[in-house]
Amino acid sequence: MLFGRIGLPRFAVSRPTSLREAWERIASGEGIHPIAGGTSVIPLIKTGLLEVRELVDLSGVSELRTVRREGDGLSVGAMVTHVELVELAPYPIANLLEGFSRSHTSPHIMNLATVGGTVASSTSSEDLLPILMALDAKVTLYEGDGPSEVPLSDYVARRDSFKVALVRSVEVRTSWDGWKFSFDKLSFSTLRLPAFCVVVGAKLSDRKVEDCRIAVSFADGLRPGRLRAVEDAVRGRSVDELRPSEVSELVRGAVRPAGDVHFPADYRRLVTSRVVALKLKEVIGA
Amino acid sequence: MVSLKVNGKPYTLEVAENETLVEVLRYRLGFMGVKEGCGEGDCGLCIVLMNGRPVHSCLVLAWRADGAEIVTAEGIGTESSLHPVQRAFIDEGAVQCGFCIPAAVLIGKWALDKGLAKDREKIRWAYRGLLCRCGSYIRFEESVVRAAEGE
Amino acid sequence: MDEETIRRFEEILKAREFYVVGKKVARVDALDAVLGRPIYTTDLLSDRVLYVRAVRSPHPHALIRSIDSSATRAMRGVVDVITHREIPGVNDAGSLTSDRPLLAVDRVRHYGEAVALVVGEDEVAVDEGIAAFRVEYEPLPAVFDPVEALRPDAPRIQEQGNLINHVKIRKGNVEEGFASSDVVIKNEFRTPFMNGLPMEIEVAYAYPEPDGTVTCIASMQNPFDVHNKVLKVLGLPPEKVRVIQAATGGGFGPKSDESPIDVAAYAALAAYRNRRPALATFTREEAMAVQTKRHSFRIVNETGATSDGKLLAWRSTLYLTNGPYYSKGHLVIQRATFHCTGPYEVPNVWADGYAVLTNNTLAGSTRGFGAPEAHFAAEVQMDILAEKLGMDPLELRMKNVLRPGSLTATSQRIDDNGLVMCVEATARLSRWKERRQEYERFNRLNGRYRRGIGIALLYHGNTLGPEGDDFAVVHLSVDPSGKVELQTGLTEYGTGALTSLAILVAEALGIDVKDVEILRPDTRAVRNPGPTVASRTTVIGGRAALDAAAKLRAVLDPLAAKILGCKQEELVYSDGRVMVAGDPTRSIPFRELVRRAIETGLDLRVEGYYKAPDTRWDKETGQGAPYNQYTFGALVSEVEVDLLTGMVRVLRMTAVYDVGKAINPLGLKAVIEGGSIMGMGHALFEEFILENGVPVTLGLQGYSIPASTEAPLEIVQQVVESEGKIGALGAKAMGEIPVVLPMASITNAVAHAIGYHIRETPLKPSRVLEALEELGIAYRP
């Protein structure tokens, strides 16, 4: 469709009330797509990029709205909205989400967009993804034979192989004693794809980096990811001898960002690497 | 079949599966203050308050609004009794072409009610997602500040 | 009424203390907007309508081999298919020149050109109908670069060739000027295509009347341009087509060109053929692709000056990249070329401006009409010159600014001091010297951020000048209650200009602005007042409004004089009353006078008219007086550059404009702020990019404009008044003006921050970072 559609096309809507029912519909054939908040699906249909004959309405599956706190774990159902997540998240997640909210290109989208929709889209426009990845998030998927858990970064990296799995919930660790996190993002106006989005966390002991997390929105093409290779190289290093230029170099070698008219690939790579280096320097107090 | 409240008044009507909330508000219920500008959640012209929160009504399929309470610009004031934000918009010269104004007064009211008016940065944040090509953003900010001062 | 009487009337008006002019007056139509009243085109649908959309070409240049609409016609809900063969009248939809078909005949010349129309019962039917429509194209060689398009072997886009205008300036002797210069600099500047991007997408609603008339309600700037082409397309006489402008959500130029004509013609055709109401509109992506763009420019400026900063010679070569159809490109190059030196006196000027057809996107009127692009090139050039000479940028400019007695590049004598007033006020308001030093100190700290302050100056020929007949018509009538109805074919679409007309009428009749009601522009009710473009509504329309008020006075004065027992020259209209000068006890309410006038059978309907003097210049040398008066202005921008990301933030803008006479100060405030922000978007982020004629930046995710948090923290503004020769009460054109300088001003501020003048807009982060890397100052953590 050269310039998209004037109106939404006709489609059927199924309204499952259980996870199993929902998954069965989605897995039953071509052109059947789940709809969570609608913030991704509706624009894709309107511009003609997604053709659907049936939408599976997830708003009737109450399990998807469950929020559970168990020890140092927080489980957030897929249909929980962004704004609800911001409101319920405890420290230190709340701080990162405050940055997410403050720098959002269109904050009122948070009232509709869902955690599950974000995970399922697995794309660089979702600032939540590097945040969740840095917090060791796991995704609980439902695939007909029951739930299975997979680290979020693996899910995103291998997104195409999870075609008909339904996102049930996201699990995040809430205790991060001794950790410092930082979120940074740059975009322009209402552009959904930012120049960069970076989340960095570190825990020190004896002026050494005991552990760290580095997640970026443009790890590979349009996929966010954790930069494990960089984390490995930084882990165990002394704060005093870890040079930002080295970190920057490591990141530059680890990312292959997509480029566009606004932010070319080389630009994204260079700036992502420098921002990561800067943020790491900040969280390790160097 | 959906039942919803718009500006305090209840409505019940049949909606098609592919009808969006903005279409229902405009063409089925006559609330022409809600505008259409892209249908993809990029311009913000269709923003209404849904259960107290600003949402892009072009992204909400109408059947999802069952049981919802919607507020549009038509519902926050009348000619003889303007909402302070509406009054401020007129006095501050915020209206240029007028097309984004219904969404802008709603966001202004929301920001005021949320206590954001004391912080200009927060007011601007509230207006993100609404594109005004005439460039009245500073006028919006001044209007919300003025409306808050009037209280 | 004769010229003399009108002139005297206006003098009297100017001399007194104003009742409403210059006071803070709210927009007359602001109430409708804040209450969300249904005043825009799609708010007025009263029936089920037919929807109309165009089938569009995916090729920038191709022959149409065959068309197969059979699948489309067979679809449920598709009611009609219209190709060029079905056009009853003439297939002509050029906004000025008749070079553009409404629907392609055998060839398409740009991506997105309309080939056929699909009419359906609802949006789904139309969308599906378009998807099923089959066109067989044979791609043709295309050309996208203006210099290449001028080569003799370039593909011919129109029969007469690709050059549609060559504007020349030949003043003095540039070679001698350069030879006498101590310093000569030469630079190339580039600006891309840009979208005017009114927030209301083009839309037209047409319906057939029982008497065979087709009425069209639509969003547009020029109802009569639309009227002319719709009746031509339908093959109907003028009285059988009626065009009414609904409230229009933004114009910015594109709504004065082809796209509103298109939707009106689409809807009218569908309504006419199917005898049912029809609505034609675009998707956002479609609107952004097919509406006329701001032209892409390439400008080479060569400037020579003495070592103490006196400009001696200036040579400009300007290439305007047009789309494949004229639109307004042949006029835009005129304005750009005439203003190519910036607002300075240069004794020797040589300029060549070329407007060239290409297979790029349609381009035409966009706010500024060539002035922003010309000023970008001229003002950054001046800044580079200042650097070369080791002079303060402000000081260099003051040495050369147009002042009373100066001659422009066209050897037109400037008689007013507006520019000097602007520069002096801006320097003071922006604390130029102080902030310059402050930022230089800040930058020496060598942190992640650098700050800078930059200035740019403008002059802007008012109003249409060489672009057409500069006249206007305003109709007034008074109803028995004393309410004055103002109706004109000039349109409101965000400029606030019609409020200015109401203010002028209220002032002339001594009544409250609230008692002036503005009726909608309706081709059945008004005479063609010319287009609502070129920021001429207040200036020229205002004169017509005052003429109408004077004519109304001419009808009422004799009766008033009789009632009050005085001479007509003693009458004063003020505060809603008509009184005898010096004796306010002898008075009568305006309303009462009106009532009596109607009682005695007086006709209180008048038509006001004004035409600006024709402007003249020599086509071979560009010498003469192409404009009747000039608006002047100065803009200082303060920026912060992030040396890590290349992101530029505008901290503050300080704008001073010589408006001639501030008729509506509150309206001016909004226009100045808003235009500054739009110009900032042009400077920092806006570009409409095509690759081999195919747009890459489609929709609002492809092309973005400033949002609330991008607006500068502060826009300080002041207006000065140096009366114009022809404008109402001395007013000067202002609607477009604030968008002219931000590109130059911000680029100069960035240069102050980083030490280099970027010569291509937008100054997006990647471009700035590239410069920072080359300068060796990019921030490395």
Contacts of A186 in chain C (CB under 8 A): 645, 647, 765
Q: How far is CA B120 from CA A18, C666, C709, in A?
A: 45, 22, 10
Q: How many CB pairs under 8 A join A and C?
A: 106
> C-alpha distances in angstroms, C567 versus C5, C233, C548, C572?
16, 55, 22, 11
Using an 8 Å Cβ cutoff, are A183 and A96 in contact?
A: yes
Residue of chain C with shortest Cα separation from B77: C35
Give the strands of the sheet with A12-14, arranged side by side. A12-14, A54-57, A32-35
Domain C296-465+618-775 has CATH 3.30.365.10: yes
Start-to-end Cα distance in chain A: 53
How remote is the C-alpha of C470 from its chain's centroid?
15
Tell me the fold of A12-60: 3.30.43
Residue B127 to chain C, least CA–CA distance (Å): 6
Q: How close does chain C come to A260, measured CA to CA in Å? A: 9
Say if CB C325 and CB C109 are below 8 A apart.
yes
A9 touches chain B (CB under 8 A): yes
The span from the CA of C586 to the CA of C571, in Å, is 10
When CB atoms are compared, the residue of B45, B90, B130 closest to C30 is B90
Q: C710 — phi, psi (to 5°)?
A: -85, -20
pLDDT digits 0-9 by tens, B21-49: 999 999 999 999 999 999 999 999 999 99
Q: pTM here?
A: 0.97
Average confidence (pLDDT) per 10 residues, chain C, 781 residues: 63 70 82 94 90 98 98 98 98 97 98 98 97 98 98 96 98 98 98 98 96 96 98 97 96 98 98 97 98 98 98 98 98 98 98 98 98 98 98 98 98 96 98 98 96 98 92 96 95 94 95 94 95 95 96 96 94 94 93 96 96 95 96 98 98 98 94 98 98 96 96 97 94 97 98 98 98 97 93
Chain A residues touching C689 at Cβ < 8 A:
261
- Best C288, C499, C708 member to test B by mutation, with max B CBs in 10 Å, is C708
Mutate to test the interface with C, among B43, B49, B87, B134 (most CBs of C within 10 A): B134
Contact B128 A109 (CB under 8 A): no
The pLDDT assigned to C4 comes to 64
Which of B22, B38, B49, B55 to probe the A interface (max A CBs under 10 A)? B55
Please give the structure tokens belonging to residue C780.
């490395």
ipTM score for this prediction: 0.98
What does the alpha-carbon distance between residue C623 and residue C169 come to, in Å, rounded to a whole number? 7
What are the boundaries of each domain within chain A? Answer: 12-60, 62-173, 179-283
Q: Which structure tokens are listed for C9?
A: 């009337």
Chains that touch B (3 or more CB pairs under 8 A): A, C
Confidence at residue C15, expressed as pLDDT on a 0 to 100 scale = 66
Residues of B in contact with A46 (CB under 8 A): 39-40
Enumerate neighbours of C (3 or more CB pairs within 8 A): A, B
Q: Which of A2, A195, A278 faces C765 most closely, judged by CB atoms?
A: A195
Question: Fold for domain A62-173?
Answer: 3.30.465
Query: Cα–chain-centroid distance for residue C284?
Result: 21
Interchain CB distance below 8 Å, C251 and B97: yes
pLDDT of residue A145: 82
CA angle C760, C763, C766 (to 5 degrees): 105
- Token pair for residue A1? 């469709």
pLDDT digits (tens, 9 = 90+) for A191-237: 999 999 999 999 999 999 999 999 999 999 999 999 999 999 999 99
Task: Write down the domain spans for chain C.
Answer: 3-37+471-611, 41-140+197-290, 296-465+618-775
Amino acid C3: pLDDT: 63
- What is the distance between the alpha carbons of residues B45 and B24, in angstroms, rounded to a whole number? 15
Higher pLDDT pick, A171 / C11: A171
Question: Which CATH superfamily, name and number, covers A179-283?
Answer: CO dehydrogenase flavoprotein, C-terminal domain (3.30.390.50)
CATH superfamily of B2-74: Beta-grasp domain (3.10.20.30)
Contacts of B76 in chain C (CB under 8 A): none
**pLDDT for position A35:** 98
| pLDDT at res. A92 | 83
Domain covering B84-150: architecture: Orthogonal Bundle (1.10)
Residue-wise DSSP of C421-490: HHHHHHHHHTTHHHHHHHHHHHHTT--SEEEEEEEEEEEEEESSGGGS--EEEEEEEE-TTSPEEEEES-
- Which CATH code of 3.90.1170.50, 3.30.70.990, 1.10.287.70, 3.20.20.70 fits the domain covering C41-140+197-290? 3.90.1170.50
CATH code of domain C3-37+471-611: 3.30.365.10
Give the C-alpha separation, C746 to C655, whole Å: 12
**Residues of chain A found within 8 Å of residue C76, distances taken between Cβ atoms:** none
* Fold: same for C3-37+471-611 and C296-465+618-775: yes
What's the pLDDT score for residue C48?
A: 87
Residue C686's Cβ-count burial label (10 Å; 0-12, 13-18, 19+) is buried
